[in-house]
Chains A and B, each alone.
Chain A
Amino acid sequence: MPRIASLTLQDTDTARPIIEAITEDNPGATVHSFPGIVKIDREGSLTVRRESVESRIGRVWDPQELHLSIVSMAGNVDEDDDYFSVAWTN
């Protein structure tokens, strides 16, 4: 069975550049839209990169700002100053 790492974000103006950054930085990611939310799935892992979001919004962005938009996730979390990722390691 494929091991799907997943991030669900609110479908809002704040989250859209993050969603865009994720889909561009994670080849093969699939985006599912539901009312109010966007669920991004990818086999194995998904990473949100600080630089990639910053280049879209034109200001400094702390990956912990993800806390304001995240709805759900699947995978083991790894978080640092420059990225936030979910992955199935095993």
Chain B
Amino acid sequence: MNAVAKLGLKQRYSLLTRGLDWEPSYQSKSAIYPYAEFEGIKIHDWSKWEDPFRLTMDAYWKFQAEKERKLYAVLDSFAQNNGQMGLTDARYVNAVKLFLTGVSPLEYQAHRGFAHVGRHIPGVGPRVAAQMQSLDELRHVQTQIHTLSHYNKFFDGLHEFPHMHDRVWYLSVPKSFFDDARTAGPFEYFIAIGFAFEYVLTNLLFVPFMSGAAYNGDLATVTFGFSAQSDESRHMTLGIEVIKFLLEQDPDNLPIVQKWVDKWFWRGHRVLGLVAMMMDYMLPKKIMSWREAWEIYFTEAGGSLFQDLSRYGLRVPKYADVATAEADHISHQNWAVFYQYTHAAGFHTWLPSAEEMDWLSEKYPTTFDKYYRPRFEMWGEMAKEGKRFYNNALPQLCTTCQIPMAYTEPGDPTTISFRHSHYKGDTYHFCSDGCKDIFDNEPEKYSQSWLPVHQIFQGNCGGASVEEVLKWYRLNLGADNLDQAGSPDQAQWDAWMEARRRVAG
């Protein structure tokens, strides 16, 4: 009989993370961790760090290996069995294109960001957690590239995704979000990605949208989505732990952390506007509206979270009320932008059908019929007359979020919202008070933004005409861009469906 009792989980985890560090003898701590102090965060006792997910390395490898086996069995099966033919509709693939070109590269950025933080945070507990998260994020981008590789065999717009991510006007929105986080200090990165993005906002990205993928027959996306999300609960917990730890360590940390929470909530809210549009306009079979998802995942879950954190003096992010009010508008305004600029996008657009517009009226009773239906109906009329509306002017971009200035004033959905600031003799433009505040707090950083439209005008993007710029993006004109109707994607889909009908007799 074995008389030695097995160690409990809490003891095992504590043995993994305690005593792993050592006091340096021939280098100073500040030379080893050069980024630990400049942000002004004060930490007195790293041993107070408590990671509630007590995953030891052996358990981590075991569970991750099992997730991978399951995931790749599904991806392989999806590819082998021509899973793309079982989708609800060819339009659906455009949502996947936007996800794989816009979001998947962020997984890689998150991998690099957490690797950096896993090196530069002086506490050993969070370093171990950040290293695990770094590996998780690398796993996520790999699974998504495997999915992309299959879709790329059949559908347009995916062939040059890393090249596009660094250049295309709307992909600069998610790209700049992560560039911004990764160029911040390690504590800000932790709050930006671990807390504001992972805890407060990613549910909105991965939960209802992936459920939508399940509902639209996309086995591959559901599987990588939920496999990624299975790591996400650990990431969310890390995010909330970081914020609690910083706030418990020193009261002087509160104003710094609050500013980061305000900033990253607003940055994240702007990026997620793309997901709002995917859910309301791009899923042929819909799960819930963006508004409903916002209520569950921000108002309800975020409400409980910020109530919990109020004991440290932390308040709900600034402009959370504005973001909540925008949930009635943002998907409609974004889809309208992409419809107007469909010639310059790497995926296809369309106008919502009569049935879809009725769904939108039902889900957005106070806004859709009044502000957005008339616009879509007018564009439908114009298209029928052979005057499909394209916007051929390059849009002004918000310096902070890099989104075209198409959002409206809070409480006044018929007036475009413009804000501006002056810095070192130049004028900078913003879509909202939230974006202007972020610039005003760090003008030296944001005055250096790589804004796609400015770069085109400065002659850095292949030429002055739309065609030249799109070629520089490596978009295949006439295949990757323009309306879904008449696209090679649609023609191929129609041929598949026709073949199915013939076989069915």
Q: Which of B8, B230, B307 contacts A3 (CB 8 A)?
A: B307
Tell me the complex Cα distance, A36–B232, Å. 17
Q: Smallest CB–CB gap between A28 and chain B, Å?
A: 16
Collect the chain B residues with CB atoms within 8 Å of residue A72's CB.
Answer: 203, 206-207, 229, 232-233, 236
List A residues 19-73 near B (Cβ within 8 Å).
34-37, 64-65, 67-73
B234 at the interface (CB under 8 A from A): yes
List B residues 233-287 near A (Cβ within 8 Å).
233-234, 236-237, 240, 287
Q: Smallest CB–CB gap between B481 and chain A, Å?
A: 31
With CB as the reference atom, state the residue of chain A lying closest to B228. A71
Collect the chain A residues with CB atoms within 8 Å of residue B287's CB.
Answer: 34-35
Q: Smallest CB–CB gap between A69 and chain B, Å?
A: 7
Q: Is the CB–CB distance between A64 and B59 below 8 Å?
A: yes
Q: Is the CB–CB distance between B222 and A3 below 8 Å?
A: no
Collect the chain A residues with CB atoms within 8 Å of residue B367's CB.
Answer: none
Q: Smallest CB–CB gap between A15 and chain B, Å?
A: 10
Q: Is the CB–CB distance between B226 and A79 below 8 Å?
A: no
Q: Which of B222, B234, B301, B310 contacts A67 (CB 8 A)?
A: B234
Q: Is the CB–CB distance between A81 and B52 below 8 Å?
A: no
Tell me the complex Cα distance, A1–B234, Å. 26
Q: Is the CB–CB distance between B311 and A36 below 8 Å?
A: no
Q: Is the CB–CB distance between A80 and B8 below 8 Å?
A: yes
Residues of chain A at interface, number, CB under 8 A: 31
Tell me the complex Cα distance, A25–B301, Å. 22
Q: Is the CB–CB distance between A68 and B63 below 8 Å?
A: yes
Q: Smallest CB–CB gap between A51 and chain B, Å?
A: 16
Q: Is the CB–CB distance between A71 and B226 below 8 Å?
A: yes
Say yes or no: A36-B211 contact (C-beta < 8 A), given A64-B59, A68-B63, A79-B53: yes
Q: Smallest CB–CB gap between B202 and chain A, Å?
A: 8
Collect the chain A residues with CB atoms within 8 Å of residue B466's CB.
Answer: none
Collect the chain A residues with CB atoms within 8 Å of residue B288's CB.
Answer: 34
Collect the chain A residues with CB atoms within 8 Å of residue B234's CB.
Answer: 67
Q: Is the CB–CB distance between B300 and A36 below 8 Å?
A: no
With CB as the reference atom, state the residue of chain A lying closest to B210. A36
Q: Is the CB–CB distance between A70 and B304 below 8 Å?
A: no
B463 at the interface (CB under 8 A from A): no
Q: Is the CB–CB distance between B207 and A37 below 8 Å?
A: yes
Tell me the complex Cα distance, A77–B238, Å. 10
Tell me the complex Cα distance, A78–B52, Å. 6
Tell me the complex Cα distance, A36–B299, Å. 23
Q: Is the CB–CB distance between A79 and B54 below 8 Å?
A: yes
- Of A1, A4, A10, the most chain B CB neighbours within 10 A belong to A10
With CB as the reference atom, state the residue of chain A lying closest to B55. A64
Q: Is the CB–CB distance between B304 and A81 below 8 Å?
A: no
Q: Which of B8, B208, B230 contacts A70 (CB 8 A)?
A: B230
Collect the chain B residues with CB atoms within 8 Å of residue A89's CB.
Answer: 308
With CB as the reference atom, state the residue of chain B lying closest to A62. B59
Q: Is the CB–CB distance between A79 and B52 below 8 Å?
A: yes
Q: Smallest CB–CB gap between A66 and chain B, Å?
A: 9
Q: Is the CB–CB distance between A80 and B10 below 8 Å?
A: yes
| Cβ contacts B407-446/A at 8 Å (1 or 0 each) | 0000000000000000000000000000000000000000
Q: Is the CB–CB distance between A70 and B211 below 8 Å?
A: no
With CB as the reference atom, state the residue of chain B lying closest to A64. B59
Q: Which of A68, A74, A80 contacts B304 (CB 8 A)?
A: A74
Q: Smallest CB–CB gap between A88 and chain B, Å?
A: 5
Collect the chain B residues with CB atoms within 8 Å of residue A5's CB.
Answer: 304
With CB as the reference atom, state the residue of chain A lying closest to B70. A68
Tell me the complex Cα distance, A5–B305, Å. 10
| Cβ contacts B194-222/A at 8 Å (1 or 0 each) | 00000000010011101111110000001
Collect the chain A residues with CB atoms within 8 Å of residue B66's CB.
Answer: 68
Say yes or no: A77-B206 contact (C-beta < 8 A), given A34-B211, A64-B63, A90-B308: no
Tell me the complex Cα distance, A67–B233, Å. 8
Q: Is the CB–CB distance between A1 and B307 below 8 Å?
A: yes
| Cβ contacts B277-319/A at 8 Å (1 or 0 each) | 0000000000110000000000011011101101100000000
Given A36-B214, A76-B240, 18 extra CB contacts under 8 A: A1-B300, A34-B208, A35-B211, A35-B212, A36-B211, A36-B222, A37-B226, A67-B55, A67-B67, A69-B230, A71-B210, A71-B232, A72-B229, A73-B236, A75-B304, A79-B52, A88-B307, A90-B308
Which residues in B have some Cβ–Cβ distance to A below 8 Å? 8-10, 52-55, 59, 63, 66-67, 70, 203, 206-208, 210-215, 222, 226, 229-230, 232-234, 236-237, 240, 287-288, 300-301, 303-305, 307-308, 310-311
21 residue pairs bridging A and B, Cβ less than 8 Å apart: A1-B300, A1-B303, A5-B304, A8-B207, A34-B288, A35-B212, A64-B59, A64-B63, A65-B63, A67-B55, A67-B67, A67-B230, A69-B230, A72-B229, A72-B232, A73-B233, A75-B304, A76-B308, A88-B304, A90-B308, A90-B311
List of 10 A-B pairs having minimum Cβ-Cβ separation, nearest first: A36-B214, A35-B215, A77-B52, A35-B214, A3-B304, A34-B211, A74-B301, A71-B229, A67-B63, A90-B308
